Amino acid sequence: MVSSLRWHHLGFAFVWAVMFGGLSAPAGMVGSSAGAAALGVFEACQQVCVIAAVALSALAERRVPAFPPRLAYAAGAALAAGTLAFSAALPSGGEPSVVGAALAGVLVGGAAGFFYASWQQFFASEGASRTAICIPLSAVLSVAVSAVVGALPDAVRTVCVVGVLPAASAATLRLSLSEIVPADPALRMTRALAAAAARDLWKPVFCTCAIGFVWQLVAGLFSVSADASSAAGFGGLALASAVVLLIELFSERGFEALRVYQVLFPLVTGVFMLPSLLGVQFAPLVVGMLLFGFEILNLLLIVTCAVYSSERGVPAAQTYALCVGPTLVAMFAGDAMGKRLGPIVAYDFALGVNVLFLCVYALSMVLFLVSFRRRRRQAGTDEAGEEGRIDVAVVGGSHPLAAPERVCADAVSESGFASGSDAGCDPPASLDARFDALGLADPFSKREREVVALVLRGNNVPAVARKLYISENTVRDHMKSIYRKAGVHSRQELIDLLD
């Protein structure tokens, strides 16, 4: 599967390289009060505009289910203009400009938010197996690109950040979006589907929000860079990307966000003790460790959103906004609070230590809340209840997001009339659950399940062949076998059977 990927499928790495490693102000600029103020304005505007762009992309997806590929060029131009404005507003050895920094934040944040939502559409269209590989590989490639760009001379580095990386981001996104075959009929996010997504994914979202908030809070508290521009931050990002990629490549079971959080909790909280016991010089290590934990959960969450959209047939950008949007808000809140506390801590180190212990307490409360499970006892009913539902999405396993099938029926009011598809209607079960529910004497193979998943999303034979990197004749052979096993004679009969 890795060898079948095309180079532009990993283009998300170029956007990440700009956001995490490319936009770092000169050291002398950060040390001055005017430079720090301009950088703070840029970061605030950028974070707000990323959140706004993700939300607007989700709203736009309700009208345009698949974003036109040509919009990638507009996003690339906005990203290039934003990075150019950043370089002009925070020049090395020059006077910083707050207005220029604000403009740069708006352009970079708006472009980045659109890139995030658009790539999510592509990942969801590729299917669960390919998504679980594309995203970690993109993260590893972004680390490599950031390392190369960071080692270049300042003039060459500026050219790369302003010209090369935005152009590569736009070109790869356009090529990837052009491969999407829109589902027929178009996917629609109903209230029932939105409620189901929130119910299924709230635990990984909650864990990621907690780590993201604490990471930004501690970085602002001790005035440490929260991105990959520092050695500790770059190391945390690189290690997190490598860990997720190795798990996706070599683990057959995959992994759950809650279990990852349970492993990360003692590691992260143990590092919290270093500044309080040995001094503030260990604060960068704490920030790097928090970045490591956050990036693992964040990559897991991005993969989970794409897999969930692919498996459940829900709009990708809206699912992304529903899950990653709260994480972006939590990071913004942590950054704002950390910067307000930072000047106080400079005069009172004891307050900083107290805040660190409060962070440890908050993370432990998150662990308690996401581990708590209510058990419902229903006398005289079968075992399909709260215990049978999946609480945390499993990513990277052979059956991602599989859940017991649940019947979706119209709710009937007291007057006897159906109240609509949104009311009292459980969401459709995952594809794996629906395959198993067929009870076929000769079950579908893993490849046949991939073919069926793509067919259900509206892909024709040439599109399935292109996405799976097999010939059209091989796809037709798979379809004949699928029809024979399912006892149907056409694509529409297959869709009706699985619906």
Q: Is the pTM higher than 0.85? A: no
Write the burial class of residue 30 (CB in 10 Å: 0-12 exposed, 13-18 middle, 19+ buried). middle
Residue 30's pLDDT is 59
Q: Identify the pLDDT of residue 425.
A: 41
Question: What confidence category does residue 320 fall into, taking pLDDT thresholds of 50, 70 and 90?
Answer: very high
| Max mean pLDDT range (94-98, 201-205, 251-255) | 201-205
Contact 454, 467 (CB under 8 A): yes
Domains and CATH numbers, the chain: 1-181 (1.20.1250), 189-373+386-398 (1.20.1250), 430-499 (1.10.10.10)
Residue 294: the pLDDT is 87
Query: Rounded CA gap, 302 and 116, in Å?
Result: 10
Rounded Cα distance, 272 and 277, in Å: 9
Nearest Cα neighbor of 323 from 220, 412, 393, 239 is 393
pLDDT of residue 31: 58
CB atoms inside a 10 Å sphere around CB 274: 17
Confidence of residue 314 (pLDDT cuts 50, 70, 90): confident
The structure tokens listed for 161 are: 């950040």
Question: Is residue 402's pLDDT more than 80?
Answer: no
pLDDT in tens, 132-167: 788 888 988 988 898 888 888 888 888 898 999 999
Query: Residue 346 has what pLDDT?
Result: 52
**Tokens coding 116:** 């995030």
Per residue in 40-79, is it b (16+ CB within 10 Å) or e — as a string?
A: bbbbbbbbbbbbebbbbbbebbeeebbbebebbeebbebb
Quick check: 229 and 147 in contact, CB under 8 A? no
Residue 461's pLDDT is 79
- DSSP secondary structure letters along 93-156: TS---HHHHHHHHHHHHHHHHHHHHHHHHHHHHT-HHHHHHHHHHHHHHHHHHHHHHHTS-HHH
Looking up tokens 């909280």 gives: 269
- Per-residue confidence (pLDDT) for residue 383, from 0 to 100: 40
Task: Give the residues across from 411 on adjacent strands.
Answer: none
Most confident of 74-83, 91-100, 476-485: 74-83
User: Quick check: 47 and 113 in contact, CB under 8 A?
Assistant: no
**DSSP strand E in 14-73: where?**
none
The pLDDT score that the predictor gives to residue 344 is: 57
What is the pLDDT of the chain when averaged over all its residues? 77
The per-residue pLDDT for range 442-472, each reduced to its tens digit, is 888 888 888 888 887 777 777 777 777 677 7
Within 144-198, strands assigned E span: none
Q: State the amino acid at position 254 in one-letter form.
A: G
Q: What pLDDT, on a 0 to 100 scale, did the predictor assign at position 494?
A: 81
Q: What percent of the chain has pLDDT over 90?
A: 18
Q: Which two tokens stand for residue 171?
A: 């070109």
Cβ atoms of 444 and 482 within 8 Å: the answer is: yes
pLDDT of 25 higher than 60: yes
Q: How far is CA 489 from CA 222, 450, 452, 479, 482, in A?
A: 66, 19, 14, 10, 9
Q: How far apart are CA 44 and CA 332, in angstroms?
A: 8
Q: Are 296 and 243 in contact (CB under 8 A)?
A: yes
Distance CA 6, CA 178 (A): 13
Which three-class secondary structure string do you get for 458-487? Answer: CCCHHHHHHHHCCCHHHHHHHHHHHHHHHC
Q: What is the pLDDT of residues 181-222, one digit of tens each?
A: 777 667 788 888 888 888 888 888 888 888 889 888 888 877
Q: Which residue has the higher pLDDT, 200 or 223?
A: 200
Over 80: is that where the pLDDT of 82 sits? Answer: yes
Sign of CA dihedral 440, 441, 444, 445: positive
Of 267 and 298, the one with more pLDDT? 298
Residue 20: how many CB atoms within 10 A of its CB? 23
Considering just the CA atoms, what is the radius of gyration of the chain in Å?
Answer: 24
Q: What is the mean pLDDT of residues 114-133?
A: 85
User: Is cis: bond before 400, omega within 30 of 0?
Assistant: no
Closest CA to 93 of 160, 31, 159: 31
Helix (H, G, I), strand (E, B) or coil at 395: strand
- Alpha-carbon gap, residue 131 to 121, rounded angstroms: 11
How far, in Å, CA of 116 to CA of 127, rounded? 18
Residue 334 confidence (pLDDT) above 60: yes
- pLDDT value at residue 379: 40
**Top-ranked range on mean pLDDT: pick from 42-51, 218-227, 374-383:** 42-51
Bigger pLDDT: 314 vs 227:
314
Q: How far apart are CA 178 and CA 156, in angstroms?
A: 32
